[in-house]
Every structure is written in structure tokens, then in C-alpha cells.
Structure 1
């Protein structure tokens, strides 16, 4: 399956999601960036293309690599716009991406984990969620249950785990003094 430039950038949006900076700006995380100009490699145990439904489903040990960025999950579903193009050849426009099954994302010094993730191409909103979403950069750690990123502005918010048994429901952050200098 050929992945065109727009598809590669969309797949990478999930991969690039942890490129964050631990900054305090009115209680929000800021600094998410994209790196969509490098080739992207997608591998999985199985690929199913449902042309009539406009979806491609990668399952089993899904691995997406672009430069130093790595995404691993159990399943990645690519939803295509069914008006024009082909999901089989990768020439259709992507509507949204969904990943699930122990989502792990690593990009240079940052790591993000969660249970599932999605990216909506129209609204350019990325969501990583789960029982526990963990973002790390060096010694700095941020924990919540839902990370929402407005990719057009780079604004990111992390919601706590309100309502989950055994959880305080609050976002937790551990910042090591001087870590920004490293």
C-alpha cells in the first residue's frame, strides 16, 4: 500500500504527539510539534483494506517509524474519505486515524503511553487517552487520563482521571529542578 504525503503526515500526527515541552502556561502543556517531511514506515502482522467502507486496518504488533519517532500499538485503523481516491492504494484523503491496544510513542527524548489514540484530520485534534496517560521527558513526568492537542496551535490539555476507582482524579506532574537545562 502506497502512503501519500498527506497520509504519512496524518499517521505521523499520532506518532509525533509526545513532542511536548513541560511548560506551565495557565495550567496547560504547550509545545507539540510535527515533523512530516521524512519518509514513514508502517509494519504490522496483518493489513485489511475495506475499500467500500473506506478503511484500512493494521493489526498485530503495529509499528510506525518516521525518523527518530516510533509508535507501537496493537491496532491502527485509518478512515478514508470515500469520495475520490482509493484506500487500497493509499491515494484517498484520510478522515481520521485511531490506534488502540497499549499505545506507546517515543520521539527522541519524549515518551507517551496510553490505551488508545485518535486524530481527526478536519479539526486537527489529537487525543490520547486511557486508564493512565503518561508523558515523560527525561526526569519530568506528567500523568492524567486524556491528552487533547490542537495541532494547528500546539495547545495541549491534560485531563485528570475523575471518576476512576482508586484515582484522586487530578493531573499529576513531577518536575525536576534544572531539567530544562539538560
Structure 2
């Protein structure tokens, strides 16, 4: 069966390791395109709200859900826009895991800009797509287009066999 992600990974490998390290590896990410207008549900062990700067800090087993996307972390800081009518972005730290089915990524830190559907993940990034993995220093994912680019010390492991 033809798997577009496997083709993209194979093409990236064939272009050479130097090119991949310099420009990054672009891959598909998530089978369902995200809708940034969907509500954001956050659960955690505790919540600290700062009325002065318009932020909210969720701490302990944080789970963020928006449509099919799920992000988990030890801590998530929610930063509201200037008029506090909506979320501008979220910063996640401590064992960050991002799942946009069927793909998953983990890293040390992530920032999710809600309106654009952009997620930047840094620090020991590991992207898992079925039996194959890509690791690197940073991943920029666009949940609305279903694409991602992994950059910095990119290493790809492709598993052979049935998908």
C-alpha cells in the first residue's frame, strides 16, 4: 500500500544527510487537519491565575485537548491576547507530548499559537509515525495543514515491512 509519509521520509534520506541537517526534514503530521476555532479544554492538578499579566498556569498532569489534538505536559502557561478575549498561545514544559492522530511527538518544551495552529517543539524532539521515528533539535508543526519540519541533528529510522 502507498504511504505518503514513508515516501516523504525516503526522499528526505535520498537527498543526503547534509541537506537534511541544513534544511530540515519535512513530513506529514496528523491525519486530520486541526480547526483552531474549536474550544480548548485544559485539565490539571492546579491552576494559578495572574490577573495583572493575563496569564494562567496549569501545573501537574496537564492535558490540553482541541478537537483531535492532545498535548500533555507537567506545566502549561496560557497567555491570553491583549483584550483577554481569547488565548494567544500556550507554553508547555516538562515531558511534553503532542498527539495528532495517528502521529505523536515528544520534547522538552513546546509553544502552541492557537490562531495559526502552529506548534514549535524544542529539546530532544522525537516524532513517531507508526514504526518509524525522526529525532532532532526542533519540530515546527502546522496542525491546520498537517505538515511538520524537523531540524537540527536530524536522524531518521525507517522500519521495513508492512504498514
* TM-score (normalised: structure 1): 0.65
Q: Which runs of 5+ in 1 are unaligned?
A: 1-19, 86-91, 161-169
User: What residue is the counterpart of 1:11 in the other structure?
Assistant: none
Residues 99-138 of structure 1 show CA distances to partners (whole Å, capped at 9, x for unaligned) of 01110233444221100100234654320111x1111122
Query: Matched residue pairs, number?
Result: 144
Residue 12 of structure 1: aligned partner: none
Map 1:61-76 → 2, pairs under 5 A: 61-65=61-65, 69-76=69-76
The 5-angstrom pairing of residues 88-127 of structure 1 reads 92-121=85-114, 124-127=117-120
Whether the 8 Å contact between 2:79 and 2:87 is mirrored in structure 1 is yes
What's the counterpart of residue 44 of structure 1? 44
> Aligned residue for 1:30?
28
TM-score, length of structure 2 as denominator length: 0.71
Q: Partners of 2:135 and 2:126 in 1: how far apart?
A: 5
Cα distance in 2 between the residues matched to 1:94 and 1:39: 10
Deviations 1:148-175 (A, max 9, x none): 1244544421112xxxxxxxxx311111
* TM-aligned CA deviation for residue 39 of structure 1: 6.4
Conserved? CA contact 1:59–1:75, under 8 Å? yes
Question: For the aligned residues, what is the CA RMSD?
Answer: 2.9
Deviation (angstroms), 1:72: 1.6
CA–CA separation in structure 2 for the residues paired with 1:106 and 1:40: 15
User: How do 1:10-29 and structure 2 match up within 5 A?
Assistant: 21-22=5-6, 23-24=8-9, 27-29=25-27
Which residue matches 1:133? 125
Match of 1:159 among 138, 143, 151: 151
Unaligned runs of 5+ in 2: 13-24
Q: Are the aligned partners of 1:53 and 1:82 in contact in 2 as well (CA < 8 Å)?
A: no
* SS in structure 2 at match of 1:79: strand
Question: Quick one: higher RCO (CA 8 Å, sep 6+), 1 or 2?
Answer: 2
Task: Note the alpha carbon deviations across 1:65-99, whole angstroms, 9 max, x for none.
Answer: 4566542211111111132x4xxxxxx22211110
SS of 1:53's partner is coil
Matched position secondary structure for 2:91 = strand
Q: Distance in 2 between matches of 1:58 and 1:135?
A: 25
Asked whether 1:177 is paired with 2:160, we answer yes
